């Protein structure tokens, strides 16, 4: 009975842990897609070399960097204590 209960709890933990990272990835893909759309609109309305298009390029880079930073931070948190835990 105890093994069954611990298996259920472990399964729920894994499901919810994966769902949290999937939501972050989904947010990033939506934001990048939105910023690309904004860039395309600015290019179409104001021209490729306009300051509006340049602003949207910077916004797209900012969102990409933010997503990249969050992705790496999540990996760093996961593996930060790997060596320390291994030798206990």
State the pTM of this model: 0.58
The residue count of the chain comes to: 88
Q: What is the largest CA-CA distance in the chain?
A: 68
**35 in a domain, yes or no?**
no
**56 in a domain, yes or no?**
yes
pLDDT tier at 41, thresholds 50, 70, 90: very high
**37 in a domain, yes or no?**
no
**68 in a domain, yes or no?**
yes
* Residues 56, 49 contacting (CB under 8 angstroms): no
Half-sphere exposure of 11 toward its Cβ, with a 13 Å CA cutoff?
A: 6
User: 73 lies in which domain range?
Assistant: 48-78
Helix (H) or strand (E) holding 88: none
Q: Give me 78's structure tokens.
A: 């996961």
Query: Looking at the 3D structure of the chain, how many domains does it have?
Result: 1
What is the three-class DSSP state of 87?
coil
Tens digit of pLDDT for each residue in 14-36? 555 544 455 667 888 999 999 99
């Amino acid at each position: 009975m105890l093994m069954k209960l611990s298996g259920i709890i472990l399964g729920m933990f894994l499901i919810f842990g994966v769902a949290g990272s999937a939501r972050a990835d989904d947010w990033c893909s939506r934001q990048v897609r939105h910023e690309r759309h904004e860039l395309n609109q600015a290019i179409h309305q104001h021209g490729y070399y306009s300051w509006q298009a340049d602003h949207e390029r910077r916004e797209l880079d900012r969102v990409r960097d933010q997503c990249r930073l969050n992705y790496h931070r999540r990996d760093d948190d996961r593996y930060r204590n790997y060596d320390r835990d291994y030798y206990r």
